[in-house]
Amino acid sequence: MHVRSRCLSVAVLAALAAGTAAAGQAPHYHLVPIEIPGASDVYVADINDAGLAVGYYISAEDGATQAFLFDGTQATTLPRPADRAEAQATAINEIGQIVGYASTITDDGAQTTAMLWNAANLANYTVIGDDQAVKLNPADINDNGTVVGLASHDGAFRAFTWTQAGGLADGVPDHGEGTQAYWSAVSNAGKLVGGWNLIFGATHAMTAQAGMPGFAPIADGVDDVPSMAHNVNETGVAVGEMDVEGNGKSVPVTFAGGTATAIPGALLGLSTGAAFGINDTGTIVGRAQNFLTLSFKAFVYVDGTAYDILAQSDGGKTFPYLLKGAAVNNHGAIAGLGRVGEFNVGSFIAVPEPAPDAIFANGFEQAIP
């Protein structure tokens, strides 16, 4: 007598998923909502290769924002200084270091403290910037501990880098009077990407090398039209948005070798968009949108094709529609945002899995004696 078994190990499932991707078939995802008791809205910002995700949530009780770490099952609120009422986490690196900031509103305005947490020991944290004359808002941290982001000084916004050994550095010189600048990401090799603008002017994508003065246009034409670089992978390819046609509509792009290239199909039928995350194999995530109709979709670009993440996922009942793919790790897991209810924002992790019929399509059902 023979029976058929449908039990497959996690390793086999992972191999099947990898094989599906290699074959160029459409990706499939299992959506895992990030649910936090007492939160009205949840905003995930980043995910590392261990599947740890960070961001912030809004308390339904008092509207305060609090930083969190999500381990795939539950979220933990990150500690903050006693004199800071709120906090946000913005990025996590591969060794579990988390950056963000804590703030509070006083009679003298917003008081902001840049923060460094460690997933291995959440009871403690490090303050990396408490000088209220130069308020730091970290955006990213690489595996070497280099932190980058925006520094507010005398009403001006400046890009900054910070390391434990070297402290704070402002590597962006004036680019005309009233220059504002912001680093959004840093690779392990120290490649910086972000944007600069004149006050009330359009943003332009820029790049630099950590530890070196100055910055440069990240690609040809970026200083002529609105553009912004949001992320960079370890091969040096950056992603962001740019008005490549000069028609007033920014679209998701890659920046590589000094050239900006629109990501094929990433608009998913909508009018504008942006790319926010890229992993080392070139998978890209972001958002397509039409603000006139308030239409939004989250896209993933894999093996030369763009897909609507929600259309490729289960668990869609939790989210009427998705707002954006925020980050993607090297295993292809996506951290993103979606609409919950009528007006609230929720977050999810989209975990890659084989297509429903792919597991048995090639004879994986085996007869067992």
Q: What's this model's pTM, rounded to 2 decimal places?
A: 0.88
Does pLDDT of 307 surpass 60?
yes
Paired tokens of 116? 């460094």
φ and ψ at residue 13, rounded to 5 degrees: -60, -40
Q: Kindly tell me the burial class for residue 221, based on how many C-beta atoms sit within 10 Å of its own C-beta (0-12, 13-18, 19 or more).
A: middle
* Residue 327 confidence class, pLDDT cut points 50, 70, 90: very high
Partners of 195 in beta bridges: 182, 205
Closest residue by Cα to residue 136 from 165, 107, 185, 170: 170
- pLDDT for the residue numbered 360: 45
Summarize the confidence of residues 177-194 as an average pLDDT: 93
CA dihedral angle for residue 68, residue 93, residue 214, residue 165, rounded to 10 degrees: 100
**Average pLDDT for 347-361:** 76
CA distance 18 to 10: 12
pLDDT attached to residue 308: 97
Confidence (pLDDT) at 275? 98
Pairing of strands 216-217, 65-70: unpaired
C-beta of residue 368 within 8 angstroms of C-beta of residue 9: no
Across 124-148, average pLDDT: 90
Q: Which domains does the chain have, with CATH numbers?
A: 32-354 (2.120.10.30)
Compute the mean pLDDT over every residue in the chain, rounded to the nearest whole number: 88
**Which of 131-140, 147-156, 170-179, 331-340 is predicted least confidently?**
170-179
How large a percentage of the chain has pLDDT more than 90? 72
Nearest one of 268, 261, 90, 247 to 183, comparing CA atoms:
90
* % of residues, the chain, pLDDT over 70: 88
> Phi, psi (5° rounding) for residue 197?
-160, 155
> Any idea which residue has 């590589």 for tokens?
256
Q: Is the pLDDT of residue 339 over 90?
A: yes
Q: How confident is the model at residue 171 (pLDDT cuts 50, 70, 90)?
A: low
pLDDT band at 340 (very low <50, low <70, confident <90, very high): very high
Q: Classify residue 318 as exposed, middle or buried by CB count within 10 Å of its CB (0-12, 13-18, 19+).
A: middle
Please provide the DSSP assignment of 345-357 as one string. Answer: EEEEEEEEE--TT
Query: What torsion, rounded to 10 degrees, do the Cα atoms 118, 124, 128, 130 define?
Result: 150
More confident residue, 259 or 129: 259
Question: Residues 327-331: what's their mean pLDDT?
Answer: 98
Residue 209 has pLDDT above 80, yes or no: yes
pLDDT of residue 359: 47
Residue 282: what pLDDT? 97
Q: What is the mean pLDDT of residues 35-42?
A: 95
Q: What mean pLDDT is predicted for residues 151-178?
A: 80
Q: What is the pLDDT of residue 357?
A: 59
- The model's confidence at residue 154, banded by pLDDT at 50, 70 and 90, is confident
133-142, 148-157, 344-353: least confidently modelled range: 148-157
Closest by CA position to 212, among listed 154, 169, 253, 275: 169
* Lowest-pLDDT range of 124-128, 149-153, 188-192, 364-368: 364-368
Candidate from 57-71, 171-185, 307-321 with smallest mean pLDDT: 171-185
Going by the DSSP 8-state scheme, the letter that residue 19 receives in this structure is H
| pLDDT for residue 19 | 40
pLDDT at 170: 73
Q: In what order do the strands lie in the sheet with 97-106?
A: 86-92, 97-106, 109-118, 125-129
Summarize the confidence of residues 219-240 as an average pLDDT: 97
